[in-house]
Homo-oligomer: A and B are copies of this chain.
């Protein structure tokens, strides 16, 4: 998408110094700026790039006084960083939400409904009795099953699968390959050593403002609901098992896994590759380090936990420091034994 520098300045409430009629179509780091790109200058460390960059425009703060000649057009705003962020958001909003209409062939059962401002990509499929709100963007090869409800302003990137009975709130974003509402992993052992599937008849509820990263999976509940509360942010390849509850504004990094029926509090941070066993409660504001295993409930809020079987992170780091010297420690002990 192309804009003139004048149009960009209007968008972020800035004043143009220099040629405003040049077209730009890209945001560049100032040290990598090329014609057609817009950069910003906010951190003094990078000032020399202002005089060297080849980009077409730079967003600068209104009080910036250059001490050499500058080639690019300047856009002056109150605060260059804030101005650039506004531009980023406008750009992102435009590229993500402007898409409307239908790319054929795509499929929607006639019993389902979709609001205004929608996009339905090629080979997307919507099942029976589903209700979809306004401004929902359903990209190529997305699957939405039967009896699904979806709020407004949601984005389903290519290849997302939302299985039957799922409920999704407003302003949610699902990155490519996400699976919501697959069967939970429940099998009853039989006397002959085989296993019989326990029917998984619950669903998944995803509240407002939730983001789920590429190829993550969230299983439906055995009965009742697996719930992702509002504002939770989930990275790529995270596994969330049946009947789990994720609290408001909790952030979960890539490749973490939460086992069945565990309840995570609000505003927790869960590191990449962390694993939490089933049927636990994790207090609000808990910080779980990357690769940490959690096998007991955490009752006191605000703790930072680390380790293979996680405990207080400072204690863990001290223990691990000694672990690195265990052979020497063992040698000393042997010496002492000899002396006695």
Contact = CB atoms under 8 A, between A and B. Distances in A.
A143 B177 CA distance: 11
A180 B212 CA distance: 16
Interface string A222-240: 0110000001010111010
A101 interface: no
B326 A323 contact: yes
A326 B11 CA distance: 59
Contact of A217 (B28, B214, B217, B326): B214
Given A187-B233, A290-B295, 16 more contacts: A88-B201, A89-B199, A122-B125, A127-B140, A141-B141, A161-B176, A179-B214, A193-B248, A193-B266, A194-B231, A275-B290, A315-B327, A318-B326, A319-B324, A325-B330, A339-B340
B215 A177 contact: yes
A176 B180 CA distance: 9
A179 B176 contact: yes
Interface in A111-150: 121-123, 125, 127, 139-141, 143, 145
Interface size classification for chain A: 35 or more
B185 A253 contact: yes
A103 interface: yes
A291 interface: yes
Closest 10 CB pairs of A and B: A92-B199, A322-B326, A182-B214, A143-B158, A107-B122, A88-B199, A214-B217, A125-B140, A185-B235, A161-B176
Contacts of A266: 193
Contacts of A323: 319, 323, 326
Contacts of A224: 29, 32
Contacts of A332: 333, 337
